[in-house]
């Protein structure tokens, strides 16, 4: 995408321009000097850790032609500096305009909720792709533009990267984008300039209180996806709600578009008639507005019944037929690190799962219990620099629902791993049944301990990190993969006592 610098300036009310006054071409926007290159307009944002204004010279040295600032800065030779009252505000309209409003050229499906976003977006991508659509996907694990796959840094990227990705999707002839919309993205308006066609709520349970402070703020951030859905000019919009989640009843009355609901009750558009959960699959019979569906799915757990039902509502809203949906769901192989069974020749079941919230942990342990003949183990920790209040709650859930709990580290980030474990242990203090609890701070040692002690018919749930192949420690990020630790343990011929 190329834009004339004067046209860029015209988009910025109140702009004061200094430095190079020549008429030039801007070929790229970036808010990170590290990705600035020839032709870039570098947008300076004041962040939590640092201030983008510090990197104007660096961006210029890398070839950036202009910088967008909100305070006095140096003006490197040859660079044009455009000062506006607020760069954060300016970028919300500048980025969509620069990339020519790509979200207006695709069907946009947004999925929000505490848990289930990655699963739901991936189900929808499979359904739509199998039906002949070219689909872009944005989420926690990766960004996909048709068949091209890139790694993600955030669940929902910042406004500039997001608009750039959408532009690339349009350039690559995608007709639909399905994306996870995090509560951070809604609160910080990373999704400015996007008009959604279909919006899905999975559920709202405790997480991210470090950022939102209260559950009400958290819910209201998520509500924005639905209460703003009618704004704009696109026709045929649908809001999809999980009627079994109490937040839906609070948000739905404020929605001005068509609504579809899913849940256990027969008053929903989509509801289950019967389902049967096994370790690696489930059978599910559903009632839907396009007819009854008999499904055999390669994912499992009651929570996934909800993800499937939400996806079906969105798929129907997008015009898919009963046959499209049945065929697509049959093809859906699951998401890496979501109730993923690890087969390393061991005589018991090992599951790696991304449960990192109280509700997520509760759900996967309840599902695991349904397939456990022996004892149920859980190995888990909690992320550092994240909601501290969820830690003791997760401790109590592990104690209540598993037979043996092994508390370990997740991504400690800047925090002391021992302090995080102490927070979790608050929830383990009241142990009337005297259940076995271990504390093994090193995650590899914790997993290896369990691999060495689990018995045939036991189920081991390794929770929290799912698809992640790294561990973020105070001073460095190391390679770490829960499934690989399990496989290595058995490959090295370590014995299971």
Ligand X SMILES: Nc1ncnc2c1ncn2[C@@H]1O[C@H](COP(=O)(O)OP(=O)(O)OP(=O)(O)O)[C@@H](O)[C@H]1O
Ligand Y SMILES: CC(=O)N[C@H]1[C@@H](OP(=O)(O)OP(=O)(O)OC[C@H]2O[C@@H](n3ccc(=O)[nH]c3=O)[C@H](O)[C@@H]2O)O[C@H](CO)[C@@H](O)[C@@H]1O[C@H](C)C(=O)N[C@@H](C)C(=O)N[C@H](CCC(=O)O)C(=O)O
Ligand Z SMILES: N[C@H](CCC[C@H](N)C(=O)O)C(=O)O
Residues 115-174 that bind ligand X (CB under 6 A): 115-119, 140, 155
Residues 31-70 that bind ligand Y (CB under 6 A): 31-34, 45, 47-50, 52, 55
Position closest to Mg ion via CB: 140
Residues 132-161 that bind Mg ion (CB under 5 A): 140
Candidates 63-71, 178-186, 214-222, 327-335: pick the segment binding ligand Y (CB under 6 A). 178-186
Residues 333-352 that bind ligand Y (CB under 6 A): none
Q: Closest separation between CB of residue 292 and Mg ion, Å? A: 30
Nearest-angstrom CA–CA distance, 334 and 332: 6
410 binds ligand Z per the rule CB under 6 A? yes
Considering beta carbons, is residue 183 or 300 the nearer one to ligand Y? 183
Nearest-angstrom CA–CA distance, 497 and 495: 6
Candidates 53-61, 102-110, 238-246, 461-469: pick the segment binding ligand Z (CB under 6 A). 461-469
Considering beta carbons, is residue 18 or 154 the nearer one to ligand X? 154
386 binds ligand Z per the rule CB under 6 A? yes
3-state secondary structure the chain: CCEEHHHHHHCCCCCEEEECCCCCEECEEECCHHHCCCCEEEECCECCCCEHHHHHHHHHHCCCCEEEECCCCCCCCCCEEEECCCHHHHHHHHHHHHCCCHHHHCEEEEEECCCCHHHHHHHHHHHHHHCCCCEEEECCCEEEECCEEEECCCCCCCHHHHHHHHHHHHHCCCCEEEEECCHHHHHCCCCCCCCCCEEEECCCCCCCHHHHCCHHHHHHHHHHHHHCCCCCCCCCCEEEEECCCHHHHHHHHHCCCEEEEECCCCCCCEEEEEEEECCCCEEEEEECCCCCEEEEECCCCHHHHHHHHHHHHHHHHCCCCHHHHHHHHHHCCCCCCCCEEECCCCCCEEEEECCCCHHHHHHHHHHHHHCCCCCEEEEECCCCCCCCCHHHHHHHHHHHHCCEEEECCCCCCCCCHHHHHHHHHHHHCCCCCCCEEEECCCHHHHHHHHHHHCCCCCEEEEECCCCCCEEECCCCEEECCHHHHHHHHHHCCCCCC
Residues 200-239 that bind ligand X (CB under 6 A): 202-203
Q: Closest separation between CB of residue 427 and ligand Y, Å? A: 21
Q: Is 5 exposed, middle or buried (0-12, 13-18, 19+ CB in 10 A)?
A: buried
Q: Closest separation between CB of residue 331 and ligand Y, Å? A: 25
427 binds ligand Y per the rule CB under 6 A? no
Give the one residue of 411, 459, 467, 489 binding ligand Z; rule: CB under 6 A: 411
Q: Closest separation between CB of residue 55 and ligand Y, Å? A: 4
* Total residues at interface with ligand Y (CB under 6 A): 19
* C-alpha separations of 477 from 312, 412, 419, 422, 474 in Å: 38, 10, 19, 23, 8
| 116 interface partner picked from Mg ion, ligand Y, ligand X, none, CB below 5 to 8 A per type | ligand X
Answer yes or no: are the C-beta atoms of 212 and 221 closer than 8 Å.
yes
Residues 154-173 that bind ligand Y (CB under 6 A): 154-156, 158
164 binds ligand Z per the rule CB under 6 A? no
Considering beta carbons, is residue 59 or 138 the nearer one to Mg ion? 138
Interaction pattern, residues 111-130, with Mg ion; x per rule: CB under 5 A: ------xx------------
Give the one residue of 52, 157, 383, 417 binding ligand Z; rule: CB under 6 A: 383
* Total residues at interface with ligand Z (CB under 6 A): 10
495 binds ligand Y per the rule CB under 6 A? no
Q: Closest separation between CB of residue 202 and ligand X, Å? A: 5
| 338 interface partner picked from ligand Z, ligand X, ligand Y, none, CB below 5 to 8 A per type | ligand X
Q: Closest separation between CB of residue 152 and Mg ion, Å? A: 9
Q: Answer yes or no: is 33 a known binding residue.
A: yes
| 479 interface partner picked from ligand Y, ligand Z, Mg ion, none, CB below 5 to 8 A per type | none
Q: Closest separation between CB of residue 155 and ligand X, Å? A: 5
Give the one residue of 98, 99, 218, 306 binding ligand X; rule: CB under 6 A: 306
Answer yes or no: are the C-beta atoms of 271 and 286 closer than 8 Å.
yes
Nearest-angstrom CA–CA distance, 320 and 278: 28
Q: Answer yes or no: is 248 a known binding residue.
A: no
Nearest-angstrom CA–CA distance, 430 and 387: 22
Give the one residue of 309, 355, 454, 485 binding ligand X; rule: CB under 6 A: 355
Residues near ligand Z, by CB under 6 A: 140, 155, 356, 383, 386, 410-411, 464-465, 468
Residue stretches of the annotated binding site for meso-2,6-diaminopimelate: 386, 410-413, 464, 468
Residues near ligand Y, by CB under 6 A: 31-34, 45, 47-50, 52, 55, 140, 154-156, 158, 182, 184-185
Residues near ligand X, by CB under 6 A: 113, 115-119, 140, 155, 180, 202-203, 303, 306-307, 338, 353-355, 359-360, 363-364, 466
């Amino acid at each position: 995408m190329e834009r004339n610098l004067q046209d860029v300036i015209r988009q910025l009310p109140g702009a004061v321009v200094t430095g190079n006054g020549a008429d030039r071409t801007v070929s790229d926007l970036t808010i990170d000097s590290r990705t600035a290159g020839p032709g870039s307009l570098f947008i300076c944002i004041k962040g939590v850790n640092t201030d983008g204004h510090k990197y104007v010279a660096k961006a210029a040295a890398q070839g950036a032609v202009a910088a967008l600032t909100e305070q006095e800065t140096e003006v490197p030779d040859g660079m044009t500096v455009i000062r506006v009252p607020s760069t954060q505000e300016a970028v919300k309209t500048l980025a969509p305009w620069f990339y020519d409003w790509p979200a207006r050229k695709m069907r946009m499906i947004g999925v929000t909720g505490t848990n289930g976003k990655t699963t739901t977006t991936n189900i929808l991508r499979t359904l739509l792709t199998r039906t002949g659509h070219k689909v872009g996907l944005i989420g926690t694990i990766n960004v996909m533009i048709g068949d091209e796959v890139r790694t993600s840094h955030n669940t929902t990227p910042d406004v500039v990267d997001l608009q750039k990705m959408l532009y690339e999707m349009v350039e690559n002839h995608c007709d639909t984008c399905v994306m996870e919309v995090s509560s951070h993205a809604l609160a910080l308006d990373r999704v400015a300039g996007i008009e959604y066609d279909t919006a899905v709520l999975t559920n709202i349970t405790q997480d991210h209180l470090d950022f939102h402070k209260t559950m009400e703020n958290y819910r209201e951030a998520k509500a924005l996806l639905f209460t703003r859905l009618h704004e704009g000019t696109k026709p045929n919009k649908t809001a999809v709600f999980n009627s079994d989640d109490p937040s839906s009843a609070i948000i739905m009355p404020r929605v001005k578009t068509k609504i579809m609901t899913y849940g256990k009750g027969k008053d929903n558009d989509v509801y289950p008639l019967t389902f049967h959960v096994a370790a690696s699959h489930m059978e599910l019979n559903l009632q839907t507005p396009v007819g009854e569906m008999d499904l055999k799915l390669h994912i499992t757990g009651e929570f996934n019944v909800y993800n499937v039902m939400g996806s079906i509502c969105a798929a129907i809203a997008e015009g898919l037929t009963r046959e499209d949906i049945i065929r697509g769901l049959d093809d859906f192989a699951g998401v890496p690190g979501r109730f993923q069974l690890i087969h390393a020749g061991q005589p018991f079941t090992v599951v790696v799962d991304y449960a990192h919230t109280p509700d997520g942990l509760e759900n996967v342990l309840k599902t695991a219990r349904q397939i456990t003949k022996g004892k149920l183990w859980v190995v888990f920790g909690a992320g550092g620099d994240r909601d501290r209040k969820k830690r003791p709650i997760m401790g109590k859930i592990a104690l209540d629902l598993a037979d043996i709990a092994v508390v370990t580290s997740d991504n400690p980030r800047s925090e002391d791993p021992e302090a995080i474990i102490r927070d979790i242990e608050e929830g383990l203090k009241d142990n009337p049944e005297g259940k076995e609890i271990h504390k093994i701070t090193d995650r590899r040692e914790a997993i290896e301990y369990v691999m060495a002690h689990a018995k045939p018919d036991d189920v081991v749930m390794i929770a929290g990190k799912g698809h992640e192949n790294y561990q973020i420690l105070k001073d460095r990020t190391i390679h770490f993969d829960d499934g690989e630790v399990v496989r290595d343990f058995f490959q090295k011929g370590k014995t299971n006592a």
